[in-house]
Amino acid sequence: MSLHETFGQPLLTFPDAEKSPLSIRAKALVFVDPRSRQLRQELEQLAPRSISVLIRGETGSGKELLARHIHRASDRGGLFVSVNCGAISPTYADAELFGYAAGSYSGSASSRAGWFGSANGGTLYLDEIGDLPLPIQIKLLAALENHEVTRVGAQQPSPVDVRLVAATSIDLAQAVAAGKFHERLYHYLSEGKLELPALRERVGDILSLAEYFLGIYSQRLDLPVPLINEAAQHLLEQHSWPGNTRELENVIHFALLVSTGDEILPEHLNLPEAPVSLLQIEQQLKRILGNGSAAEKDALKKLLKDAGLL
C-alpha closest to that of 176 among 188, 185, 164: 185
- Amino acid (one-letter) located at 79: L
CA 272 vs CA 49, 53, 98, 205, 269: distances in Å:
44, 37, 48, 20, 9
Segment 188-192 shows an average pLDDT of 92
Closest CA to 70 of 196, 163, 187: 163
Instruction: Judge residue 53's burial from the number of C-beta atoms within 10 Å of its C-beta, 0-12 exposed, 13-18 middle, 19 or more buried.
Output: buried
Contact present, 165 and 71 (Cβ < 8 Å): yes
Residue type, 174: Q
Rounded Cα–Cα distance for residues 134 and 229 (Å): 51
Who wins on pLDDT, 103 or 208?
208
Average pLDDT over residues 215-224: 90
Helix axes 206-220, 230-238, angle to 10 degrees: 120
Tell me how far apart the alpha carbons of residues 178 and 104 are, in angstroms, rounded to a whole number.
Answer: 35
Q: Give 71-83 pLDDT, tens digit per residue.
A: 999 989 999 999 9
Contact 271, 239 (CB under 8 A): yes
Given 3-state DSSP classes, what are the helix, strand and coil percentages for the chain, each rounded to the nearest 5? 50, 15, 35
As a whole number of angstroms, the distance between CA 66 and CA 74 comes to: 12
Tens-place pLDDT, residues 104-156: 655 555 567 789 989 999 999 999 999 999 999 999 999 999 999 888 877 88
For residue 1, name the pLDDT band (cuts at 50, 70, 90): very low
Cα→Cα distances 9→16, 31, 134, 153, 223, Å: 21, 8, 44, 53, 24
Total-model pTM: 0.76
Answer for the pair 191, 141: CB distance below 8 angstroms, yes or no.
no
